[in-house]
């Protein structure tokens, strides 16, 4: 993809900086006639919204979305999409007035400060500017639109690892995900994480995490080999999220350790007469095309680089210095990445649904 646009037929363009007046997205290519209210989008933004537990940043943002175009009442008075671009806008309201002197002149290790400066020669350093995780609100908003056009598909994400503490897959319970502040499908792991993150948080440190997103109800046939593969676009989508360093489909990196007998998912005919795969190492994708199994994607989020420990770095003039990143930060930014991962899954699937329908006609 290119620059700040993602997608081919269903296209999302985002704009905005962390401490500018607003952020937003233009969603283009949405089919017409689909019911879309601000509330449909707001529900997902509220999942991502900061300040909802002590484990996320204390920045307070209403994250109230406005739809500025692309919708209109249909004959029954219900607001629906018109097929024209949908402009979504979220005001920034809690850009705390503060002294940015430190990060203005010095590069925070692990942040994009250095690389943005190297590329552009200038950066909006306030809160990370364009490279801030705040941009992911635009993704979540666009993802909410994407979900509306693939109604038969159920997309759910969960946090499955924080630091070295993994969930127990035997305990997986989707209903549990919204019962704890971690989107954990395993209540026991959630308890361990709470203890662990309290320590991390109080010490001013941070830690990484792994998210798993699963899409059920994707029919066989979506994807566009060889350079628009469904899993390729998922990898692209997830790696485009801030702080993501790895992406896996199905067996993922672990596929390296399997033999052909272990890996290849055998097929039978289910009671419903449809193909029934006996395992899902493929993660629902073979040859870049969906198989009808659940599409399973995982990604790893690195620890927030804003920590209280003093770190060695350099300043813009090339002098060695040290830096401590104060401010309101997520001890584990991976938590809030769950709804973001769901949104990107929705965007990729919506795009491939339209592309498939275009080429194949069903």
Residues contacting residue 20 through CB under 8 Å, at least 6 positions apart: 92, 124
Residue 130, annotated ligand binder? yes
Subset of 29-48 contacting its own copies (CB under 8 A): 29, 31-33
Measured CA to CA, the distance from residue 294 to residue 273 in angstroms comes to: 18
Subset of 107-146 contacting its own copies (CB under 8 A): 107-112, 114-116, 118-124, 129-131, 135
Minimum distance from residue 350 beta carbon to its own copies (Å): 11
Measured CA to CA, the distance from residue 189 to residue 186 in angstroms comes to: 5
Subset of 216-245 contacting its own copies (CB under 8 A): 220-229, 231-236, 238-240, 242, 245
Nearer Cβ to its own copies (126/175) = 126
Residue 305, annotated ligand binder? yes
Torsion of CA 44, 48, 51, 55, to 10 degrees: 130
Determine if 101 is a binding residue for its own copies (CB under 8 A): no
Residues contacting residue 241 through CB under 8 Å, at least 6 positions apart: 136, 139, 299, 301, 337, 340, 341, 344
The three-state secondary structure class of 105 is helix
Residue 242, annotated ligand binder? yes
Measured CA to CA, the distance from residue 39 to residue 347 in angstroms comes to: 19
Determine if 9 is a binding residue for its own copies (CB under 8 A): yes
Subset of 168-197 contacting its own copies (CB under 8 A): none
Measured CA to CA, the distance from residue 24 to residue 183 in angstroms comes to: 25
Site string for its own copies, 63-92 (x = CB under 8 A): ---x-xxx-x-x-----x-xxxxxx-----
The window from 14-22, 35-43, 168-176, 177-185 that contacts its own copies (CB under 8 A) reads 14-22
Minimum distance from residue 238 beta carbon to its own copies (Å): 8
Subset of 308-327 contacting its own copies (CB under 8 A): 309, 311-314, 318-320
The three-state secondary structure class of 346 is helix
Which residues are annotated as part of the binding site? 48, 54, 130-132, 242-243, 287, 302-306, 328
């Amino acid at each position: 993809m290119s620059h700040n646009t993602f997608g081919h037929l269903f296209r999302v363009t985002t704009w905005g900086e962390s401490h500018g007046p607003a952020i937003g997205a233009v969603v283009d290519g949405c089919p017409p006639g689909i019911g879309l209210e601000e509330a449909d989008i707001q529900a997902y933004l509220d999942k991502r919204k900061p300040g909802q537990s002590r484990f996320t940043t204390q920045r307070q943002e209403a994250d109230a979305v406005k739809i500025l175009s692309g919708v209109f009442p249909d004959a029954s008075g219900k607001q629906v999409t018109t097929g024209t671009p949908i402009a979504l806008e979220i005001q920034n309201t809690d850009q705390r007035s503060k002294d940015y002197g430190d990060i203005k002149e010095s590069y925070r290790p692990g942040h994009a400060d250095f690389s943005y400066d190297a590329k552009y020669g200038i950066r909006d350093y306030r809160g990370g500017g364009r490279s801030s995780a705040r941009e992911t609100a635009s993704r979540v908003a666009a993802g909410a639109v994407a979900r509306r056009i693939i109604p038969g598909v159920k997309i759910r994400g969960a946090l499955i690892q924080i630091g070295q503490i993994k969930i127990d897959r035997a305990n997986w319970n989707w209903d549990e995900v919204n019962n704890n502040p971690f989107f954990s499908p395993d209540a026991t792991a959630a308890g361990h994480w709470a203890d662990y993150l309290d320590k991390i948080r109080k010490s001013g440190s941070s830690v990484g995490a792994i998210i798993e997103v699963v899409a059920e109800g994707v029919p066989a046939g979506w994807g566009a080999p060889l350079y628009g593969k469904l899993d390729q676009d998922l990898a692209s989508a997830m790696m485009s999220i801030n702080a993501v360093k790895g992406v896996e489909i199905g067996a993922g990196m672990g596929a390296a350790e399997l033999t052909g007998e272990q890996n290849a998912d055998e097929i039978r005919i289910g009671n419903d007469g449809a193909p029934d795969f006996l395992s899902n190492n493929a993660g629902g994708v073979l040859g870049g095309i969906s198989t009808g199994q659940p599409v399973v994607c995982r990604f790893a989020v690195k620890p927030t680089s804003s920590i209280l420990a003093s770190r060695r770095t350099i300043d813009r003039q090339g002098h060695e210095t040290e830096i401590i990143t104060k401010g309101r930060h997520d001890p584990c930014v991976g938590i809030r990445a769950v709804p973001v991962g769901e949104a990107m899954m929705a965007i990729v699937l919506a795009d491939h649904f339209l592309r498939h329908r275009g080429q194949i006609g069903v």
